[in-house]
Amino acid sequence: APEFFEGLPRNIINRDALLYLSWGREIAINFVDGNIGAALMGGERIYMFMPGMRYFIAAELLLFGNSNMGHLLCIALLPPVIYLLTQQMSKRISLFVVVLILSSTKLIKTIRTAADGYSDPLGLLLLGLALLLLMRQWSAFRNSFATNKPDPTIFAGFVVLGLSIFLRPNYVLVGMMIGGLWLMFYLQKNAYSFRFAECLGILIVLIMPAHNLFFGHEFVALTLASTVIDALTTPPLVYWNALQEALYLAPGPNVAVVVRKLKSLLLPGHWILFFGSLTIALIGRIPEKIRLLAAVAFVLQAPHLFYRSGGREMLAGNYFALMAVLAAIWFWWDRKKESTAGPLPQRSIA
């Protein structure tokens, strides 16, 4: 009920969320005053991080005022999207029920994170919606029909995928992976056809470098935060130094840092989601839709070997990994029942 959620998305006391809210209000005020250029600039000449959230908050303020209904409506769409995603991987409702039960704490965390004003829940919704649109037309995505006509559903999926990256630029690796898959399938059968228009929706991510170049007169591909090496809590060099220390049987500070990182990432239970999603993505006998979700989950989790792990930043990766692992279990269980059931007995006709 609205009374239960009232005030949640504006219960903002955290630094990042306060910046989103401040920029969003500035954009809305400039838009109402007719300062379209200032509104488009979004409070920064060069984006520091998460550019899309400020525009979402501005749109919410313009459409719903300070009622918080925009954020509430978006979060309310998450369970239906999860249900439809599970239906793409298994027609049995039991998969969705188990996902819902085992992810109940994650759903509560999602609501709480949205209440704190962060962009992670909205990013989870957009990425899930993009995967749903692409899975619904998976045969066309794989170019199985070998047609020259662009598929509007796939185009919409790439648009939503681009919006998710604009909201959370750390999803760019997922965009590169899915775009690479599409390009590989495209070049196999329909090179140089009009089907290439399907993937153009993802070009919405070019808003970021275009904004930075136009307003800041500097080329920054995504955001300034994505170029700051200090954002890495465990850089690749630390892993290399830890390997050298281990090979010389002289564990030192680098080994200690790596051990702490792996413990925070893989325990308790995160190792199942981390290595489980990787394993599922590589097993060819599993349906491709499940493997796609597992690959997305792994790509979302892998950067946290170098970045901060265990926080809200891993929300989407952990959630999709849980869904992929459960979907693979359901698939194996169905296959096992089919193999043990044997052929149906033949009825004799007298």
Tell me, yes or no, if the pTM score tops 0.85.
Answer: yes
**Along the chain (350 residues), what's the average pLDDT of each consecutive run of 10 residues?**
45 69 90 91 90 92 81 87 92 90 85 81 94 92 75 93 93 93 80 77 93 92 76 79 84 83 68 86 89 94 76 84 92 81 48
Q: Which residues contact 327 (CB under 8 A, 6 or more apart)?
A: 86, 89, 90, 95, 290, 293
Q: Which residues of 81-117 are buried (b: 16+ CB within 10 A; e: fewer)?
A: bbbbbbbbbbeeeebbebbeeebeebbebbbebbbbb
pLDDT at residue number 348: 43
Rounded to whole angstroms, the Cα distance separating 55 from 35 reads 15
Q: What are phi and psi of 135, to 5 degrees?
A: -70, -35
pLDDT at residue number 3: 45
Rounded to whole angstroms, the Cα distance separating 114 from 120 reads 7
Residue 291 burial (10 A CB sphere; 0-12, 13-18, 19+): buried
pLDDT at residue number 295: 94
First to last CA, the chain: 63
Rounded to whole angstroms, the Cα distance separating 32 from 273 reads 46
pLDDT at residue number 268: 58
Dig out the tokens for 140 from the structure: 């066309």
- Answer whether 202's CB lies under 8 Å from 158's CB: yes
